[in-house]
Amino acid sequence: MEKIITDISQLDPNGIYTYADYLRWQFEERIELIKGKIFKMSPAPSAKHQQIALKLSSRLLYEVQRAGYCKVYPAPFDVRLLDKRKTTRANGEVYTVVQPDISVICDKSKIDERGCIGAPDLIVEILSPGNSKKEMKTKYALYEESGVREYWVVYPSEQSLFQFILNEEEKFVLKAVFAEDEVFNAHIFPDLQIDLAEIFAE
């Protein structure tokens, strides 16, 4: 029987781990795996972060329910991203597990009892003071490489939102930056309008 890990200190910080390893970890620290490397997540999100996440999730939920084929999953929700060079979905072959603040998935075959396996259609990350530039750069490259169709980065302190979309060359392009009281449309849900004044309201 595989040994259960109850303290993060039992792990080699320079080691390479898989999703199979991740399933054996039972410690309090919140972590993500990116290409086998351990990334500690920020402490519990602030009240402001959670309010923004709740409002965006609600707007997305309303729209995708009308569309009828997509699902919205707020964190904590495991998203296992696959290496495009491999087709296996075996736990021991998955080296990346992340927990985006919000994931929208339109392909039901990607959903199982443990979360999502494969790229969500839309990912939303809401930045906290604990998020480093290195972390955000790493995730940007990861989501692009994995084929996430649309990616929003929300900056609560600046009341702004950066909207990236995947182009035909499978590269993210910045579609627009929205701030404060602007209203914008989701790219993959063109009928969905989001009023940032409502999202950022205290």
Residue 154 inside a domain? The answer is: yes
Same domain, 169 and 77: yes
Range of the domain at 23: 8-40
Amino acid at position 149, single letter: R
**Tokens read off for 193:** 């309008």
Residue 137 and residue 76 share a domain: yes
Same domain, yes or no: 86 and 101: yes
* Structure confidence at residue 131 (pLDDT): 74
DSSP secondary structure of 43-72: SSPPHHHHHHHHHHHHHHHHHHHHHSS-EE
| Overall number of domains in the chain | 2
Alpha carbon distance 58, 103 (integer Å): 12
**Whole-angstrom Cα distance, residue 18 to residue 27?**
17
For residues 29 and 57, membership in a common domain is answered with: no
Q: CA 164, 170, 172 angle in degrees (round to 5)?
A: 20
What is the pLDDT at residue 63? 81
User: Could you tell me the CATH number of the domain that includes residue 63?
Assistant: 3.90.1570.10
How high is the pLDDT of residue 1?
A: 52
Q: Give 154: exposed, middle or buried? Use CB within 10 Å, 0-12, 13-18, 19+.
A: buried
Are residue 14 and residue 72 in the same domain, yes or no?
Answer: no
Instruction: Say whether both 101 and 187 belong to one domain.
Output: yes
Same structural domain for residues 14 and 64? no
Residue 1 lies in a domain: no
Average pLDDT along the chain, 202 residues, taken 10 residues at a time: 82 93 90 92 85 95 81 95 70 90 95 95 90 84 96 95 96 96 92 93 89
> Looking at the domain assignment, is residue 65 inside a domain?
yes
115 and 19, same structural domain? Answer: no
Q: Is the domain of 36 the same as that of 134?
A: no
Do residues 34 and 82 both lie within one domain?
A: no
* 2 belongs to a structural domain: no
The verdict on 19 and 53 lying in the same domain is no
* pLDDT at residue 85, rounded to an integer: 61
- Same domain, residue pair 78 and 54: yes
Q: Assess if residue 168 is contained within a domain.
A: yes
